């Protein structure tokens, strides 16, 4: 969805590209005067067309924000800001229209005129005015360059049954994604290793029907009010809110994650209160380190103990 966004250029780069193309324009006419005149007109047209079509390509190929699934809209708002992106696209579209208008207004007088000197003056005027419009939106083009870099890295979310893994940092969420799917998330023994949403898939044939489930790993959440959550945590909340058919809430009862079980259980209550319509599977990880007699499903991402049971449970809902 975000792969086809073109590489955005800065104002100076757009102008350089347009002037380079202008240099290549050549008109063949046996009459030297006509040749000169036609060349000036054709160069002016080429310059304006390059600028206009470059700007048009940006506006056309950026996804229309209002038509995106709500998860992506929220992710854009967290990582870029919807207002900022809309403002940038609006400015580019304004520049496209303005450059188009400058050219079409002036090109009539170019064509009617007979004097080379006049043509050259008009040409410089058009080059100057178009260049100044493009330079005016340089800041917005730079914002688009930044946005494009972020959007290109957005996860590819499919419209299929989805399980979102949530929980405190360092409890083993990415390890679980790795156990369940072929995804290769980064795993490390410090909190906040995962800073982005990542996706994996599990497939299983049941009575000749292939079932495919999407598993989503999220950054760790802390037990604090939603208004105090940082942008990394907000991505996890957006995934839980917009994508989850099932939420696997992963607990580390060994507390080797660095957080007390009590804090993790408070987070669970908070998440349960926020997403009352979701199905929750509460899972204790790191069972290889500690035995306890709680009522929750116990697994170990290190020894794979209990993982098959969890897979059974997930598929039983779909
Ligand atoms: N002993 C043991 N260690 C585990 C298990 N699962 C994960 N770990 C370890 O716990 C640490 C954290 O694992 P991650 O999968 O990165 O945890 P996370 O919840 O994704 O962490 P953040 O991305 O920081 O939120 C790593 O050192 C893992 O090797 C397990 O079942 N048993
Ligand atoms: Mg992780």
164, 218 Cβ separation under 8 angstroms: yes
Site to substitute for ligand 1 among 172, 179, 263, most atoms within 8 A of C-beta: 172
Instruction: Please give the mean pLDDT across all residues of the chain.
Output: 94
Determine the residue of 175, 252, 303 to mutate for testing ligand 1's pocket, defined as the one with the most ligand atoms within 8 A of the Cβ atom: 175
Q: List, for residues 211-250, the tens digit of each pLDDT value.
A: 999 999 999 999 998 889 999 999 999 999 999 999 999 9
Task: Check residue 10 and give its pLDDT.
Answer: 98
Side-chain half-sphere CA neighbours of 315 within 13 A: 17
At 169 the three-state DSSP class reads coil
| Cβ of residue 165 lying under 6 Å from some atom of ligand 1 | no
Query: In the CATH scheme, what is the code of domain 11-152?
Result: 1.20.120.1190
How many other CB atoms are found less than 10 A from the CB of residue 256?
A: 15
Residue 312, pLDDT score? 95
Quick one: pLDDT at residue 290? 84
pLDDT at position 133: 98
Q: Is the CB of 192 under 6 A from ligand 1?
A: yes
What pLDDT score was predicted for residue 5?
87
The DSSP-derived string for 33-81 is HHHHHHHHHHHHHHHHHHHHHHHHHHHHHS--GGGS-HHHHHHHHHHT-
Write the pLDDT tens digit of every residue in 18-68: 999 999 998 888 888 888 889 999 999 999 999 999 999 999 999 899 999
Characterize 136-175 residue by residue with b for buried, 16 or more Cβ atoms within 10 angstroms of its Cβ, and e for exposed: ebeebbebbebbbeebeebbebeeeebbbbbbbbbbbbbb
| Structure confidence at residue 6 (pLDDT) | 86
In the chain, CATH 3.40.50.300 sits at: 162-316
Whether residue 1 is predicted with pLDDT greater than 80 in this model: the reply is no
Q: Is the pLDDT of residue 183 over 90?
A: yes
State how far the alpha carbon of 129 is from the alpha carbons of 12, 91, 94, 95, 115, in Å: 14, 16, 14, 11, 21
pLDDT of residue 206: 84
CA of 294 to the centre of ligand 1 (A): 20
Query: Quick one: which atom of ligand 1 is closest to the CA of 177?
Result: 15
Q: Is the separation of the CB atoms in 196 and 219 below 8 Å? A: yes
Task: Dihedral sign for Cα 193, 197, 198, 199, please.
Answer: positive
The pLDDT of residue 167 is 98
Q: So what's the pLDDT on residue 71?
A: 97
User: Does ligand 1 have an atom closer than 6 angstroms to the CB of 175?
Assistant: yes
Name the 3-class secondary structure at 230: coil
**Atom 8 of ligand 1: nearest residue by CA position:** 172
Over residues 155-164, mean pLDDT: 96
Task: Give, using CA atoms, the residue closest to atom 21 of ligand 1.
Answer: 170
Residues of each domain in the chain carrying CATH 1.20.120.1190 = 11-152
C-alpha closest to that of 236 among 217, 262, 208: 217
For the sheet containing 279-284, what is the strand order? 198-206, 209-217, 162-167, 246-251, 279-284, 297-298
pLDDT at 4: 80
Per-residue model confidence as pLDDT tens digits over 108-142: 777 766 788 889 999 999 999 999 999 999 999 99
Q: Which fold has domain 162-316?
A: Rossmann fold (3.40.50)
What is the best residue among 165, 168, 170, 303 to mutate for testing ligand 1's pocket, by most ligand atoms within 8 Å of CB? 170
Tokens of 240: 């839980």
Which pLDDT score, from 0 to 100, does residue 75 have? 96
Let me know: does 239 contact 177? Beta carbons within 8 Å: no
**Taking residues 77-106, what's their average pLDDT?**
96
pLDDT of 132 reads 98
What is the pTM assigned to this prediction?
Answer: 0.89
End-to-end CA gap in the chain? 26
């Amino acid at each position: 969805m975000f792969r086809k966004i073109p590489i955005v250029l800065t104002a100076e780069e757009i102008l350089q590209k347009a002037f380079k193309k202008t240099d290549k324009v050549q008109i063949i006419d046996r009459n030297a005067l006509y040749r000169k005149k036609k060349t000036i007109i054709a160069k002016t047209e080429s310059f304006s067309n390059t600028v206009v079509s470059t700007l048009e390509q940006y506006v056309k190929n950026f996804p229309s924000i209002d038509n995106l699934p709500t998860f992506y809209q929220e992710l854009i708002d967290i990582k870029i800001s919807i207002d900022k992106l809309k403002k940038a696209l609006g400015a580019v579209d304004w520049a496209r229209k303005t450059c188009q208008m400058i050219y079409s207004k002036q090109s009539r007088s170019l064509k009617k005129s007979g004097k080379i000197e006049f043509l050259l003056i008009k040409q410089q005027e058009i080059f100057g005015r178009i260049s100044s419009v493009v330079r005016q939106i340089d800041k917005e083009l730079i914002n688009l360059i930044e946005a494009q870099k972020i959007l290109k890295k957005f996860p590819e979310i499919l419209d299929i049954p989805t399980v979102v893994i949530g929980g405190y940092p360092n409890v083993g969420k990415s390890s679980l994604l790795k156990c369940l799917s072929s995804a290769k998330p980064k795993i490390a023994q410090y909190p906040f290793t995962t800073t982005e949403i990542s996706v994996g898939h599990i497939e299983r044939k049941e009575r000749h029907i292939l079932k495919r489930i999407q598993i989503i790993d999220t950054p760790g959440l802390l037990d604090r009010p939603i208004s105090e959550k940082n942008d990394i945590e907000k991505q996890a909340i957006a995934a839980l809110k917009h994508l989850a058919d099932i939420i696997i809430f992963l607990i580390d009862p060994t507390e080797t994650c660095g957080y007390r079980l009590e804090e993790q259980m408070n987070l669970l209550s908070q998440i349960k209160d926020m997403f009352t319509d979701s199905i929750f599977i509460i899972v204790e990880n790191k069972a290889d380190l500690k035995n306890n007699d709680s009522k929750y499903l116990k697994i170990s991402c290190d020894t794979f103990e209990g993982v098959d049971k969890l897979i059974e449970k997930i598929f039983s809902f779909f």
